[in-house]
Amino acid sequence: MAGSPKVGVLALQGDVREHAALLAGLGADVVLVRRPEELAEVAGLVIPGGESSVIDKLSRTFGLQHPIRAAIAEGMPVLGTCAGLIMLADRVVDAIEGQESFGGLDVVVRRNAFGRQAESFEAELEMPELEGGPVRAAFIRGPVVESVGPAASVLAALGDGRVVAVEQAGLLGLSFHPEITGETRFHERFLSAVSQRR
């Protein structure tokens, strides 16, 4: 589609194809980002779910850690789901030894807060910021936001008060997997942030 935003999906590990397909379905020009030169082509980035410690290691191996941090610092819109939320958090609790994040979101996130894969669940989330009613959210070994700093805002929490969606300027972090349930509104919000920045 002519003039559609060129956005990247960090394609080091995780559910890359699901995000790429969802974004393409919304009319975006999608680049799979594995190298700094591919990151330089895009106006926004999606960091998919997967294993945050592996994404961290591979981002350093492929020379992407510092370019991604710089892009975030310069205001590039980023959507992080599950492991992607962990990678966006300024501080990670229960990280493996030596694990680092890209940072940018003024939050503290706990890895694997919902237990093992067998304890995965779905929940309806009220999200007044999004039009179209509640969000059906799939949690698979998801992280939880333990505290939210003054720069970030809460978009959604579970009934027990645990925060599972946060936003800060063009950064959007989710504990769950909208790409699995066919929920498009977060990717639309991300693409809108990309378009506004252009």
- What is the arithmetic mean of pLDDT over 86-90? 98
Give the structural domain span for 128: 6-197
Flag whether 46 is in a domain: yes
5/123: higher pLDDT = 123
Token reading at 17: 């194809």
Considering the domain boundaries, does residue 1 fall inside one? no
> Annotated catalytic, 37?
no
Kindly report whether the global pTM for this prediction surpasses the value 0.75: yes
In a domain, 143, yes or no: yes
Kindly name the residue from 167, 179, 183, 187 that is annotated as catalytic: 179
Answer yes or no: is 191 within a domain.
yes
Mean pLDDT taken over the chain: 93
Q: Are 154 and 105 in contact (CB under 8 A)?
A: no
| Single-letter amino acid code for the residue at 61 | T
Does residue 152 form part of some domain?
A: yes
Q: Which residues of 100-133 are buried (b: 16+ CB within 10 A; e: fewer)?
A: bbbbbbbbbbbbebbeeeeeeeeeebebeebeee
Does 96 fall in a domain? Answer: yes
Q: In the annotation, is 179 catalytic?
A: yes
Token pair 């039009």 is found at: 131
Q: What is the mean pLDDT of residues 21-32?
A: 97
Indicate the number of domains in the chain: 1
CATH number of the structural domain spanning residue 73 = 3.40.50.880
List, for residues 101-140, the tens digit of each pLDDT value. 999 999 999 987 766 665 678 889 988 888 888 999 999 8
Quick check: is 80 in a domain? Answer: yes
> Is residue 41 flagged as an active site residue?
no
Indicate the SS3 state at residue 133. coil
User: Which residues, 6+ apart, have CB-to-CB distance to 133 below 8 Å?
Assistant: none
- Range of lowest pLDDT (29-33, 49-53, 74-78, 115-119): 115-119
Position 198 scores a pLDDT of 73
Q: CA of 1: how far to CAs of 48, 142, 177, 179, 192, in Å?
A: 24, 34, 26, 21, 16
pLDDT digits (tens, 9 = 90+) for 142-170: 899 999 999 999 999 998 999 999 999 99
Q: Which of the four pLDDT bands, split at 50, 70 and 90, describes residue 1?
A: very low
Q: Is the pLDDT of residue 62 over 60?
A: yes
With respect to residue 27, please indicate whether it lies within any of the assigned structural domains. yes
Q: Per the residue annotation, which of 18, 19, 167, 177 is the catalytic one? A: 177
